[in-house]
Structure 1
């Protein structure tokens, strides 16, 4: 997968090429009438099912279920799309043209054919080659497709579009990283997953360790308000204004069907997930969702964040700032799970203060051999030794130990971390799209949930084996002050690696060279 940060290395080339060839530009954006989440959904099957699933002590609180396994999380989205009667509001940073992406798009088409209002909002950064796909989907009655912060250049590969849009780099560098799926304004699925094979354990080469939360109740209405905030933003364009349709509507719909292909067999899921829960598909058929109830709060960035010229102003009030404040309130422990972790000067100060106050800080992130963003790993490595010296525990995902996560069969594929979770003490947890790095803090927009519940935290901790993070290397400093990576063995011992495991000096040299061209603020 092409990655945002790695492609920043092409920025210099893009600027040079732009000076020679010129750049594309967008037409003037035409205002669109505001639209909002449907409120008259009480009679829908999903709303009635939520009511039937809500216990007496759950009244006024949100219903919640962790979705740690990819197939179960994909099943939840597809099943909710099939059950929706009124509306589907869908928002993603990336929606790939692969088997998983086509599954979801077929489900949206089929819902629209039943009369469901479908609103699909996609960040435009990774839509190279998808103009026809999204344009022909938008030709269906009841479907609207919009793009967040579109690139001016529409043709060619990602790099070609990037070069052709280079004169707008200061704008297109800011992306909508949000992930959100809402059915009938009654049930949502949100967390760290984009839409693509590797986010749902459907890839043969590499799959992500990730997490979503299914939600009902008050928090869903707050998520719908967050969706509307983006849908009606001036940074969002109807796809027809960016890519005028070339085909008649009927032919466009036929073309969409040709692109996404025929229906595929149902997703295969185990009888129970790692938490002992059955699939959402089965629970919908049985008429009751298995939920925990708690206070949940939506954290969401203002889409206008991307237009603020001062980086500190973009940080103020952001999802990142609020999660850091949550960590500041820790009394005993903080667990940080972040695939892209660069604490920066401010983060180091706050984490150091927490440790000084007796708070145990544990960090779980990618290793150099598991990450899809090696430049980010190098940014994190600048702080790694100091984090260890301060007494923090650090674990890095070992790419070939996915089977020890209890999250399904990785097979021969490597495991990579993509979940973004922070656990504070034993009673608060954040799950969302936000990484603990400068890009999430000051460049992109993010969304997430804070849940205040000891029960939910206990449920999450069940995902961590009794012996700890067996899917990861544990880091320590040797007597000489060098980092060592301890790989768990089946006998309970460790194999000690004195150099970054799973890499070679050529790759490390190239990554170091590349890092010279990308500042930490862009990572």
Structure 2
């Protein structure tokens, strides 16, 4: 189990591991769900990677193979932003707030060493053996030929110097004690300017609720081009989310919002050269992936960009803790708008309404468009299940 690995890692003199908001009953976690559901239902969803308090990465990416094109079964598409300067201090301070919070426990105080007998030296031997595998060596060989790391060492990475505002939830949100101004969604609303021309929103899990749907619809009616990209049913790794997102599609489309749903499998022809080479040499069968899923969380409004861990759904807004950054960057916003212009039809279904106000899905292919009058790759019983779920009072937990 991962907690055994974390316990072993913590035995290294330079490694310290804490668990935030852990289960009290390690072996019988159902007990926590019964006795302490309000707390357990809330999660630290923040993602940040900080080096020497000087450079920080934030976005939606987790630390596992599925996020780095080295899994042969499932891939998540994600976006991060690298930050230097004053914004890094805010991210460091946020990390420290969580690290020093009363809900952060050292792994040694939570995980039983008697139940997990893996020790650091044994783990190191396993890692050494893994390191020698051909797939790992091929991957390292490929990455060593990338010029990106050389540019980094030579300080040739080009930074776009812009105003950056870090927005983040207080760790007290986990126990429902954070003040209104300590919520990311409150900060997001206060720091974003009203768009006049473009809104491009990408969210892996998209449940706008009535208020969000109204805001997007109003913008579209006022002449703002509003585009939303989220997962299709097959691409969504949390199917229940799709049931509640589906309730808002027709309303949004009627009001002029453009909806796109991410295709569930990548096309090997669209992989960049390095990824294609990795797929071949490291024996990662990208073409045979069972599923690919969108995991990105970003929004570009005219000349402002938000990137972070925050999904546009009730769970991120009210339950989980999140972090992100708002960038006043016309060049980055333009790049995002242009990238979506070029790639939406390649990687997503476009949703439209027919004359009878029924939704259909249009997929662009080299041989021409394919029209789906029923939801792509959804069985009748799945459709019925989604409909039943959408009637339950569970939207606030999604």
**Residues 1:453 and 2:329 are matched in the alignment:** yes
Q: Which residue of 2 aligns with 1:150?
A: 22
Deviation track 1:115-168 (CA, whole Å, cap 9, x = no partner) reads: xxxxxxxxxxxxxx222111111111021100110001213xxxx524554311
Q: Which residue of 2 aligns with 1:331?
A: 196
**Residues 1:219 and 2:87 are matched in the alignment:** yes
Contiguous gaps of at least 5 residues in structure 2: 277-285
How do 1:216-295 residues align onto structure 2 when only pairs under 5 Å count? 216-246=84-114, 252-258=119-125, 260-262=127-129, 263=131, 264-265=136-137, 266-267=139-140, 268-269=142-143, 278-279=147-148, 281-295=149-163
Q: Which residue of 2 aligns with 1:191?
A: 59
Aligned partners of 1:270, 1:336: CA distance in 2, in Å? 34
Structure 1 residues 271 and 138: CA distance shift in structure 2, 3 A: closer
Displacement of 1:286 in angstroms is 3.3
Q: Which residue of 2 aligns with 1:365?
A: 230
Displacement of 1:192 in angstroms is 0.6
Structure 1 residues 348 and 510: CA distance shift in structure 2, 3 A: closer
Q: Which residue of 2 aligns with 1:415?
A: 292
Structure 1 residues 233 and 348: CA distance shift in structure 2, 3 A: same
Q: Scaled by the length of structure 1, what TM-score is found?
A: 0.67
Displacement of 1:398 in angstroms is 1.3
Deviation track 1:65-116 (CA, whole Å, cap 9, x = no partner) reads: xxxxxxxxxxxxxxxxxxxxxxxxxxxxxxxxxxxxxxxxxxxxxxxxxxxx
Contiguous gaps of at least 5 residues in structure 1: 1-128, 273-277
Structure 1 residues 140 and 517: CA distance shift in structure 2, 3 A: farther
Aligned partners of 1:141, 1:247: CA distance in 2, in Å? 22
Q: Which residue of 2 aligns with 1:340?
A: 205
Aligned partners of 2:371, 2:188: CA distance in 1, in Å? 34
**Residues 1:140 and 2:12 are matched in the alignment:** yes
Kept in 1, the 8 Å contact 2:49–2:58? The answer is yes
Q: Which residue of 2 aligns with 1:200?
A: 68
Q: Which residue of 2 aligns with 1:176?
A: 44
Structure 1 residues 185 and 495: CA distance shift in structure 2, 3 A: same
Aligned partners of 1:228, 1:270: CA distance in 2, in Å? 33
Displacement of 1:354 in angstroms is 1.9
Deviation track 1:317-336 (CA, whole Å, cap 9, x = no partner) reads: 52223334555611111111
Aligned partners of 2:269, 2:259: CA distance in 1, in Å? 18
How do 1:442-481 residues align onto structure 2 when only pairs under 5 Å count? 442-464=318-340, 466=342, 468-481=344-357
Higher share in helix: 2
Deviation track 1:174-231 (CA, whole Å, cap 9, x = no partner) reads: 1000001111111122111011111111121221111011222221122111111111
Aligned partners of 1:169, 1:440: CA distance in 2, in Å? 17
Structure 1 residues 232 and 223: CA distance shift in structure 2, 3 A: same
How do 1:294-309 residues align onto structure 2 when only pairs under 5 Å count? 294-308=162-176
Q: Which residue of 2 aligns with 1:103?
A: none
Aligned partners of 1:248, 1:202: CA distance in 2, in Å? 28
Q: Which residue of 1 aligns with 2:184?
A: 319
Kept in 1, the 8 Å contact 2:221–2:256? The answer is no
Structure 1 residues 473 and 444: CA distance shift in structure 2, 3 A: same
Over aligned residues, Cα RMSD in angstroms?
Answer: 2.6
Count how many residue pairs are aligned between Structure 1 and Structure 2. 379
Deviation track 1:45-77 (CA, whole Å, cap 9, x = no partner) reads: xxxxxxxxxxxxxxxxxxxxxxxxxxxxxxxxx
Kept in 2, the 8 Å contact 1:338–1:419? The answer is yes
Aligned partners of 2:311, 2:83: CA distance in 1, in Å? 21
What is the aligned counterpart of 1:374 among 230, 239, 242?
A: 239
What is the aligned counterpart of 1:389 among 254, 276, 286?
A: 254
Q: Scaled by the length of structure 2, what TM-score is found?
A: 0.87
How do 1:30-41 residues align onto structure 2 when only pairs under 5 Å count? none
Aligned partners of 1:354, 1:192: CA distance in 2, in Å? 26
Partner of 1:436: helix, strand, or coil? coil
**Residues 1:499 and 2:374 are matched in the alignment:** yes
Displacement of 1:501 in angstroms is 0.6
Aligned partners of 1:361, 1:470: CA distance in 2, in Å? 19
If asked which structure has higher relative contact order (CA below 8 Å, sep 6+), I would say 2
